[in-house]
Amino acid sequence: MSIMSNASFHIIAISFGVYLFVNFFENLIHYNIGKFSNKATHFELPNKNDLIKIVIVMCTFALLQGLLTNFFNNHI
């Protein structure tokens, strides 16, 4: 007996992936706005430590997004 069905796993995995893909670009934009607020056209990637922090936070919220999407899909 599995803890979750294949459908639930797919919903969580797809929601997780979409969240990571879309929010990665948004977070890069926010990073650059915060770092270079006085330069409207400047864009650079974060250093390795900042990128790791961004990815960890994104993965945490991507998992939460997937779990909540699955929960509401099954209960509403």
This prediction's pTM: 0.78
The predicted structure's pLDDT at residue 66? 92
Count other C-beta atoms under 10 Å from residue 66's C-beta.
Answer: 21
66, 16 Cβ separation under 8 angstroms: yes
- What digits encode the pLDDT tens for the residues 2-36? 567 888 899 899 999 999 999 999 999 889 888 88
The yes-or-no verdict on residue 74 having pLDDT over 60 is: yes
Question: What DSSP element (H or E) covers 7?
Answer: helix 6-35
